[in-house]
Amino acid sequence: MPSDTKHTHLKIALLGNPNAGKSSLFNGLTGLKQKTGNYAGVTVDRLEGSTSFLIAETKYTLSVIDLPGIYSLFPKSSDEEIACKTLLDPKEKIDVVVIVADATNLKRNLLLATQLIDLKFKTVLALSMMDEAESQGIKIDLAGLRTTLGVDVIPMNSRKQVGFKELKAAIVTAKISDSFFYDINSPFLNKETSYVQLVSSSLVDGKGTSTFENADKIYRFNTINYLVARYVQSPEQLSRKATTSKIDAITTHRVFGYVVLLAVLFLVFQFIFFISEAPMDWIESAFLTFGDFVRNSLPPGQLNDLLVNGIIAGISGVVMFVPQIAFLFLFIGFLEDSGYMARASFIMDKVMRRFGLNGKSVIPLISGTACAVPSIMATRSISNLKERLITIFVLPLISCSARLPVYTLLIAVLYPDSKFLGVFNSKGLVLFLLYMLGFAVTLITAFFLKRFVKVKEASFFIMELPVYRWPQLKNILFMVYSKVKVFVSEAGKIILAISIVLWFLSSHGFTETYKELDAKIEILESSAATQENKVELKKLGSEKLEHSFIGNLGHVIEPIIKPMGFDWKIGIALITSFAAREVFVGTMATIYQSEDEQNTEGIKQKLLKEKDDQGNLIYTPAVCWSLLLFYAFAMQCMSTMAVVKRETKSWKWVLAQLAFMSILAYASAFGAYQLLS
């Protein structure tokens, strides 16, 4: 950079209606890849990024804040409150406000735009989705709009990176508008109370502002009607909206809408199993081959044992399920980006209300199939406190991606190879039923909970149904990559640490019996590798594991878990997976690997062959269903508990949730085992 180049730093706030395209514009400006979606409420918290560029020998650095979508400066929900308070907080020192307005629906977006202009920040208006507006035959007089609003107006197409250069130039030359769009003769305003002061005070106490808010909206819409009539020309028939209406006639139909929703979910879970099976087998085989290679390459000893039976076995138990998790996020991304997720919320609103929820609960609940943590944060878009608390309480009952490895392993043991109707995959059907069970229990719990949560507050559901759009494959693939990366890195750290601890606890013991068994194994290993010696080695290996540190721990809790059909080995996995459910599979892989000196089989084959002292199979349908139901309802996620505490600001909800889910999990597993055994 030349020595005479000036350096200017500006702080930018992006504001606009929900689903106006703020996140896409934020990603285009900063180069980041925050989640985008074709429905309202994608952004529920402030996001920050930065960008630098050179204009006329001046280097500009923009700190960009993406705030949750709002319809007006008088918030109705927690996420809207975050946006308004951040904007008006003097400590934030916002230099320029960029208003993001949907060009295909300018009339609705101008309400917020004119309110923001009246706050007297330096302002730029970015018209998003100009490509769609043009395809619909909508013509906007940009020069006329620019003159009347008193701010620069930039046409944008964030998907194709159109308009960003012009937007950056407009930001650095932005000015405060000279225009006013509120009623300067309003009795609520005087010399001592400006518009910005009135808005700021409403955020503090919210009292006495509803009358002014309503009067302000009526006054503004009179002006907005004039602006739209003068500067916007749109044909009566809009092809894309017409196509959307035809599709909506089915997807939002009072009967066919539910059929379509169930069919979509059913096919998603069928494809998850159908497509993922082959790559899962490849990954498992690769880890077995790698483990065998390490075993034969290194000299026998503690390090060899740790690497093969501890680390490689534990990590393989989770990595092999990456294909299924990736496909789950891929399908969710398509549903969100196409606009179908908003329809799911719309048709489920009536159903949800009967159970103490509303349509805005649907998106967090469906998103909960991926992960409960961001879904709980997404409940900020629910304005009614009672419905929000109930949604947060029941959301962890939805089966998330962390449960997927557990489900997949146990379903594969239950139904090793079977189909129904000659076409569909039985394993996919069971997985679909487990997810439906999660939804059903979620609704039943909400139904009873609404009788105990007392909050006198009116409930309403407003959601704009966006037009259908072709999903952006690039964005979805990046989202899948990011989610899988987080899953592997976060779960990998925990599993790596637990695998090492488990290996130590399963390879060492303090009792005389353990020492005697260890001595016998050493003698046999130095003897000839006959078939009899191999059988005896496997038997001694099982006895040694049972008398190791971890074997003793498993026996301590066995009386508590025995009524559910669980033995001491499963008990160890229950303990280690308390912080994160997916650790169950890694733990099982590590435990059973320590019994398989030859490293020849995957975890599924080992569970299928596992027998008790009487020679009976351990993983019977009764035990598998008991385990499935236990993991379907048990909390076992420290991250979820932390975010519930953060969102409810109370340990009371966390402890009540933990107690309820633990009792439900134990009772369900106990009932399933007693019924099926």
Residue 525's CB is within 10 A of a number of other CB atoms, namely: 13
- Both tokens of 248, joined, read 């909506």
Q: What is the rounded CA–CA span in Å between residue 204 and residue 199?
A: 9
Tell me the angle at which helices 473-507 and 583-593 cross, rounded to the nearest 10 degrees.
Answer: 40
Q: What is the pLDDT of residues 462-503, one digit of tens each?
A: 666 777 878 878 778 877 887 777 777 766 677 677 777 877
3-class DSSP state for residue 322? helix
Q: What is the rounded CA–CA span in Å between residue 610 and residue 360?
A: 46
Q: What is the pLDDT of residues 329-354, one digit of tens each?
A: 888 788 878 888 888 878 887 788 78
Q: Which residues pair with 48 in a beta bridge?
A: 65
Residue 282's CB is within 10 A of a number of other CB atoms, namely: 12
Q: How does residue 99 score in pLDDT terms, banded at 50, 70 and 90? A: very high
Confidence (pTM): 0.66
* pLDDT mean over 637-660: 86
Q: State the average pLDDT for the chain.
A: 81
Residue owning tokens 């409940």: 379
First to last CA, the chain: 76
Instruction: Determine what percent of the chain is predicted with pLDDT higher than 90.
Output: 17
Q: What is the pLDDT of residues 226-279, one digit of tens each?
A: 888 888 887 754 555 677 788 888 888 888 988 998 888 888 877 776 777 788
* pLDDT mean over 157-174: 88
Q: What is the pLDDT of residues 365-410, one digit of tens each?
A: 877 777 787 778 777 767 677 888 888 999 999 888 778 888 888 8
Cα–Cα separations (whole angstroms), residue 250 to 38, 242, 258, 470, 583 = 19, 13, 10, 18, 42
512's CB contacts (< 8 A; 6+ apart) are none
* pLDDT mean over 60-66: 89
Q: What is the rounded CA–CA span in Å between residue 347 and residue 343?
A: 6
